[in-house]
A and B are shown apart, each in its own frame.
Chain A
Amino acid sequence: MKISLNWIKQYVDTDLPPKEVARRLTMAGSEVKGVQVIGEGWEGIVVGRITAVNPHPNADRLTLVTINLGSSEETVVCGAPNVAVDAMVAYAPVGARLINPHTGGQETLKSAKIRGVVSNGMACSEKELGISDDHTGILILPEGFEVGRLLADCLGDVIFNMDVTPNRPDCLSIIGLAREVAALTGGTVHLPDASYEETDELIDNHISIEIEAPDLCPRYCASLIKGISIGESPRWMQERLISYGMRPINNIVDITNFVMLEYGQPLHAFDYEKLAGRKIIVRRAGEGEEIVSLDGVERVLGSNMLVIADAERAVAVAGVMGGANSEVTEETTTILLESASFNPRSIHYTGRTLDMPSEACMRFERGISPELTMPAIKRATQLMAEFGGGQVVRGIVDVYPGRVEPQPVAVTTGEVKRVLGVEFSREQIEGTLTLLGFECRPGSSESEVVATTPYWRSDINIPVDLVEEVARIIGYDEIPTTMLSDPIPRQTTEPIIGLKRKLGESLTGYGFYEIISDPLVNLEILNRLYPESHSPASSPLRLANPMTIMHEYLRPNLRICVLTAMVNNRHAEGPVRLYELGKVYLPRPDDLPDEVEMLCGMLGGPRSEMSWQAKTDKAVSFDFFDAKGIVEGLLTRLGVNARYEPSTDETLHPVKQAAILVGGRQIGVVGELHPAVTEAFDIPDPVYLFEISLPELLPFTHEYRLFQQIPRFPSMLRDIALVVDAGTAYQKVVDIIEGFPLVTQVSLFDVYSGDQVPPGKKSLACRITYQLPDHTLTDEEVNKVEQQILGKLSRELGATLRS
């Protein structure tokens, strides 16, 4: 919102520099985000009156213009078409800084001889002054400025770019901001004189007003102005509108806009002759009722919207936009002026539903006091009489079914201290509130102030609202800075937060980069993870209002996001290791979805960065056992024992995948992506994945585990090479061996098939560690167990020792 400081200063006197006014407003809640100074650098440029225009002796298109500057006269050479005797212009002497209209840069004006005649300065265009881009002629100033005065004093202004918070509709007006400035500087506000003359006719004879929906319209005021002639509004008013960023239209529309900006009360002008039955009815719209709004669009209304109607039809969508059927046009002579109060929720709903944001709507939906309707309509009526050439019919119709007596709010010095942590005296509190327009009286105790809220403030309801008023006007800087001094509350850390940290530490140590993805995904891309069924087992949650279809569904798994990141990085050199720790969202009937924390990691490319020590021309690629090794490392670090079994995850390679089982439950999966999936995602090389559900894993992780004695007696290592059927799972071998006493560890150090091993068989070379806590093992003891092991392996798996 662009606000002219000159305009504010029309209602409040302040000599503070603009930056300081901006700072105080900002600190007190109405943020000034930018300060634009108009007239900055206009040193020496003054107002002058043209006293003579003579032809240039050597050029047809140029003139010699004599300008009276009060104490002196100067003659300049001018090429503008709009020079005329008596016109008021901006005169720049030699040495003034002006904008070069061709380059846009600032230049110092030099004395120049133009076609043989010396030009002593110049008359400036708007563009040369930096006011606008207009360079078609020189700037002609309105009458009333004193000749010889600095232009900066006449036209200079400071524009505040403001952000007003939604609780302060009063600050969406110049007078409201003037009140803030007054409270912050100790000044007083002068309201404009809004008196006008009236004819003898009574308004009640011309219009009747009925409110059928008082819950949506607490007050409706109207005045009637006859004999209007539509024309331009005065230049000063146009300038005010332009300073705010509004386009002047005609005197009537400009006056309603001007008063809305001045007072904050939206107004609407009807062409009285177009109202059927001399009637205004404020009622709910019929379901499906239609109206063509001022912008020419046909709107279909609903029964929870409010309309202004005449005897026959709706003539405006209340508070949102007028109707074309009652619009003020060139021919309009009689105006019915509306100043009303509408239910803010209803206006917000209507504006949002019809998608018709407007300045009026923005003010109504924030909640304007019904008390504001009267001062605003008087001011606008006065301006219409003055600048619309009209006569005002006697009286203002005022239908006010929603009158509410203001409820005073009480606050004590104790409450102020309880909230702010600093003591303010009763006098300080009362003084501050009085500055803001509150009427204060003593309360039931010495420390209590009872304050009646001024009508323009709709945001004060409870004592703490008054505490904020005191704090923001006195200044937050006056509140001390202390540290919380009470004992620290009992802490119970959510275990899953600790688990996430540990996983992150391990994975980054393994060379993984953590990623974070947008959990909103596209369904078609998601379906590419399912090369057979072409869709996930259960449908993911959909957004009712997605931004784009690329972000329409909440991810039902994490792999879609990690895979997308793999795709994004497929041109990266060297190994790519990515993981994400994040939620997936699984629908539950009638309830919020189950948000499951997942870990998903992927790796692809060469196993190592290029190095001169490895034969990296053909770098070894990652394989399934890299992914599995990472899972084993993660789980070992957490003290979790897992088993692995073949599994059937559709996204993964049918044989290169394993379920991760802990305590008999599947907690995740590890495997190579199905070639059809990598192809669908346009990734040339294999990608390996691991995925673990954190809630499934969490119960098996331990806060701490007890110390285990370091073995005091040496272990004995024995290597055996077994020949088993090629299809026999190593896990079965391990399970048998580990089932024997003395065995503390089994490590596999070779897997072989080919020469020296019969077809259909494989050789597994294992190192078995034997150990006892209470004595050094003898060969005999170990031999005995080894024989038993070999016997069982032979019986159950048909294993033989490799010769």
Chain B
Amino acid sequence: MKETAPQKIEDIEIRLLLEALYLKYHYDFRNYAMASVKRRLRQAREQLGFDTFSAMQERLLHEPAMLPRILGYLTVQVSEMFRDPSYFRALREKVVPHLRTYPSLRVWIAGCSGGEELYSFSILFREEGLEERTLFYATDINPDALHAAEAGVFAVDRLQLFTENHRKSGGKSSLSDYYQAAYGRASFDKGLRRNVVFSDHSLVTDAVFAEMQLISCRNVLIYFDRNLQDRALGLFKDSLARRGFLGLGAKESLRFSEHAGAFVDFVREEKIYQRRAP
């Protein structure tokens, strides 16, 4: 055993709060990476005006309206369209040629946040002529994020970055072909979500639901501890068709996972893996 600081009251309270959140609402943050959870809960406590986490817990248990507010702190909604353009370029150049050989495709965007990643995929798939044969599943645990993803509306001041990213990803069209801007908001083409199923799904507590040819789960696993990362990777392993693809975030990898043996590196630098034939 490594020595750790004696347990502080704050740490006890945080554990109890997470337990309460799980028992009452079935959101399970108990095995997330705690340093970040603690930081965000401290922010929540300060900004929501509670003196202690115990007080916050009491309100959370007795007042369901507190749930979305606390959930908003616990689930980090930072995203971009075509985030890490080199990842999307690798998909386009190396993965798409394989996907073309399938008559129909299922693609799962796990932890889709407000939809930035999903729209990046559906634009890329339209550009590559794969859109018609593809069914996308976009899942997250934060209901507000899922609503935002379904709406497909983004602040226009984010579009410069999105446009630049799209271009760097090897985009074959202009991003402005896909949205209409008015009153500071850009609404993306409804057609881009015609073949999308939006769904509440937790990588921590839910099971596999369909067989996929491609799964993209980026910047979600870093928020989990190692056991939870393995649980999620196990879901991906079980959900992927043979020779299906898995893409992770730039700083996530299979290296320390017990499931590493089920995959081969496909584009190593971009954390794109391929499921071995079992």
User: Is chain B a partner of chain A in the same complex?
Assistant: no
